[in-house]
């Protein structure tokens, strides 16, 4: 199906999907790249916020020896955080004896319970930061989770019995990415609209240019080729110009047309010469017989019976010339009109037998009729009789004196079947495929070589077909099938 489409349709169905896929891939990759960049920027900003929060908490603990929860809530709001809490490592965070009291102990217990009540990911990565002292960043949905360790410094020893470098706790901070995601989505939509608009303009412009620069010239070439196929070699045919591939093809086409015209003219002259020579040769024999008969009739010494015989010969020769002329006119006119009517097949066989009998008797050939179907058929009886007569006349050329021809009629599957068979020498295999071509004469015989060509055209005009099988030792069988 794809092969039968026009070039423009093929290009549209191949180029446009590829172009659209390419645009979609470029939009996707561009958005991915922009999203990665925005995430990197967000991570950098979040890291800076986390460090600021960490330092402020450390300074608070140094100055106040505690972390104020109200301060944490205020930092959370100012920094636009979704979450902020402290995870404590009680094994390492040992308060000095001067700072140990029930209030601090209760507050530490509450913070430990708050941290342990968080989700599995918070606990897993929070404990991992406590163990390694390395900061962790995790993206979960629309949030970044930052886990920043508190590393013991010298100033921490003022309140805590710790070693410098110990991991005392972790600050958990949740940074929202909602605004970044919304900005990225808007950017993706804007990119899609821009790319889509550009794609539409490119496709429409490409189609316009293709129609004017490629499809239009190709249409001219197509029309010119159809006209040449009809035999029109006129120089008036308009072909595209230019130095592109279509223009070069048009110039080659012009050269081909000129060569075809020259070849056609030469072939026509040659064909006319061959046909004229054949016609002269074919007409010469009967005309010679007519002239010879007239010369003989001029003699007054001939008796009446001899004169009648010469007149019959002259008449037969004149009839042959007339039949040859009519065959030539009918065939070369190119339009054989048939008048199909309900006709008797028995009457058709009798008509053919009477028309060919005189010639066959002269050649001492017997015609046998085997009418197995004697009903009626919707055919052009006159034209069909002529076609059968032409076949019998042609078959007689291959039958020696004493031979016979059988004309058989039958019906099968709604078809009228007419069989003409002979016991002659058969047609050589090299010529069997050519006998239905015009002006083909396998043997020197009467006529202009149109007997079978004309018969074939008459049968096919009635929706039928004709074929032959021949054996050079057993004879030839001609089969005609015509719808009843």
Report residue 410's pLDDT band, with 50, 70 and 90 as the boundaries.
very high
d(CA 390, CA 279): 18
Assess if residue 296 is contained within a domain: no
CA 73 to chain centre: 70
Of 151, 182, 213, the domain-final residue: 182
**Is residue 152 a contact partner of residue 173, using CB atoms and an 8 Å limit?**
no
Q: Report the pLDDT value the prediction gives residue 64, as an integer from 0 to 100.
A: 63
Find the domain containing 130 and state its range: 2-182
Of 149, 182, 215, the domain-final residue: 182
Assess if residue 303 is contained within a domain: no
* pLDDT of residue 366 exceeding 90: yes
How many residues appear in the chain? 484
Identify the residue with better confidence: 127 or 40: 127
* pLDDT of residue 320 exceeding 70: no
* Integer CA distances (angstroms), 265 to 230, 233, 259, 262, 354, in order: 15, 10, 10, 5, 44
Q: What percent of the chain has pLDDT over 90?
A: 12
CATH code (residue 454) = 3.30.565.10
d(CA 37, CA 378): 87
**Is residue 48 a contact partner of residue 141, using CB atoms and an 8 Å limit?**
no
Assess if residue 156 is contained within a domain: yes
Tally the domains of the chain. 2
Least confident of 266-270, 273-277, 345-349, 428-432: 273-277
Of 137, 154, 182, the domain-final residue: 182
pLDDT digits (tens, 9 = 90+) for 130-174: 888 888 888 887 777 888 888 877 776 666 666 788 887 888 888
Q: Report the pLDDT value the prediction gives residue 419, as an integer from 0 to 100.
A: 95
Q: Report the pLDDT value the prediction gives residue 139, as an integer from 0 to 100.
A: 80
Assess if residue 285 is contained within a domain: no
Report residue 407's pLDDT band, with 50, 70 and 90 as the boundaries.
very high
DSSP state letter for 468 = E
Q: Is the pTM of this model over 0.75?
A: no
Report residue 405's pLDDT band, with 50, 70 and 90 as the boundaries.
very high
What is the 3-class SS of 69-109, one letter each residue? HHHHHHHHHHCCCCEEEEEECCCCCCECHHHCCHHHHHHHH
Q: Report the pLDDT value the prediction gives residue 276, as an integer from 0 to 100.
A: 58
Assess if residue 75 is contained within a domain: yes
Assess if residue 297 is contained within a domain: no
d(CA 480, CA 484): 12
Assess if residue 284 is contained within a domain: no
Assess if residue 363 is contained within a domain: yes
Could you list the beta-strand ranges (E) of 354-403.
366-371, 376-379
Q: Report the pLDDT value the prediction gives residue 160, as an integer from 0 to 100.
A: 66
pLDDT digits (tens, 9 = 90+) for 51-107: 777 677 667 666 666 667 777 777 777 777 778 888 877 667 665 555 556 666 677
* pLDDT of residue 272 exceeding 90: no
Q: Report the pLDDT value the prediction gives residue 165, as an integer from 0 to 100.
A: 82
Q: Which of 265, 313, 317, 257 is nearest to 287 (CA)?
A: 317
**Is residue 439 a contact partner of residue 454, using CB atoms and an 8 Å limit?**
no
Report residue 367's pLDDT band, with 50, 70 and 90 as the boundaries.
very high
Q: Report the pLDDT value the prediction gives residue 10, as an integer from 0 to 100.
A: 67
Residue 114 burial (CB count, 10 A): 14
* pLDDT of residue 237 exceeding 70: no
**Is residue 340 a contact partner of residue 379, using CB atoms and an 8 Å limit?**
yes
């Amino acid at each position: 199906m794809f092969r039968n489409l026009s070039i423009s349709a093929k290009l549209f169905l191949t180029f446009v999907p590829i172009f659209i896929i390419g645009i979609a891939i470029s939009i996707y990759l561009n958005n991915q790249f922009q999203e990665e960049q925005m995430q990197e920027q967000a991570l950098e900003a979040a890291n800076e916020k986390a460090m600021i929060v960490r330092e402020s908490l450390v300074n608070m603990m140094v100055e106040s020896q505690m972390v104020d929860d109200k301060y944490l809530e205020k930092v959370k709001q100012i920094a636009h955080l979704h979450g902020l809490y402290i995870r404590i490592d009680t094994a390492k965070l040992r308060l000095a004896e001067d700072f140990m009291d029930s209030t601090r102990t209760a507050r530490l217990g509450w913070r430990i319970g708050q941290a342990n009540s968080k989700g599995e990911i918070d606990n897993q990565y929070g404990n991992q930061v406590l163990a390694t002292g390395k900061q962790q960043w995790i993206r979960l949905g629309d949030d970044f989770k930052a886990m920043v360790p508190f590393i013991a410094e010298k100033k921490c020893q003022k309140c805590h019995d710790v070693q410098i470098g110990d991991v005392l706790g972790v600050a958990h901070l949740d940074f929202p990415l909602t605004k970044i995601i919304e900005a990225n989505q808007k950017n993706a939509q804007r990119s899609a609209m821009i790319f889509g608009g550009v794609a539409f303009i490119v496709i429409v412009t490409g189609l316009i240019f293709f129609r004017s620069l490629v499809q239009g010239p190709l249409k001219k070439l197509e029309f010119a080729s159809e006209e040449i196929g009809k035999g029109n070699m006129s120089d008036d045919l308009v072909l595209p110009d230019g130095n592109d591939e279509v223009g070069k093809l048009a110039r080659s086409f012009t050269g081909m047309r000129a060569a075809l015209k020259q070849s056609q003219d030469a072939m026509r002259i040659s064909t006319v010469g061959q046909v004229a020579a054949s016609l002269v040769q074919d007409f010469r024999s009967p005309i010679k017989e007519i002239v010879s008969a007239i010369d003989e009739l001029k003699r007054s010494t001939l008796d009446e019976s001899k004169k009648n015989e010469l007149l019959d010969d002259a008449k037969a020769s004149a009839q042959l010339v007339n039949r040859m002329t009519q065959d030539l006119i009918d065939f070369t006119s190119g339009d054989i009109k048939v008048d199909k009517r309900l006709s008797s097949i028995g009457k058709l066989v009798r008509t053919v037998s009477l028309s060919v009998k005189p010639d066959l008797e002269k050649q001492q050939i017997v015609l046998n009729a085997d009418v197995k179907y004697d009903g009626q058929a919707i055919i052009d009886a006159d034209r069909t009789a002529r076609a059968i007569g032409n076949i019998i006349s042609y078959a007689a050329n291959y039958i020696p004196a004493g031979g016979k021809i059988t004309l058989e009629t039958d019906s099968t599957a709604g078809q009228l079947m007419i069989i003409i068979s002979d016991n002659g020498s058969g047609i050589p295999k090299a010529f069997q495929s050519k006998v239905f071509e015009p002006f083909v004469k396998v043997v020197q015989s009467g006529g202009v070589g149109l007997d079978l060509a004309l018969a074939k055209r008459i049968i096919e005009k009635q929706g039928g077909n004709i074929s032959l099988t021949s054996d050079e030792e057993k004879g030839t069988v001609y089969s005609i099938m015509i719808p009843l």
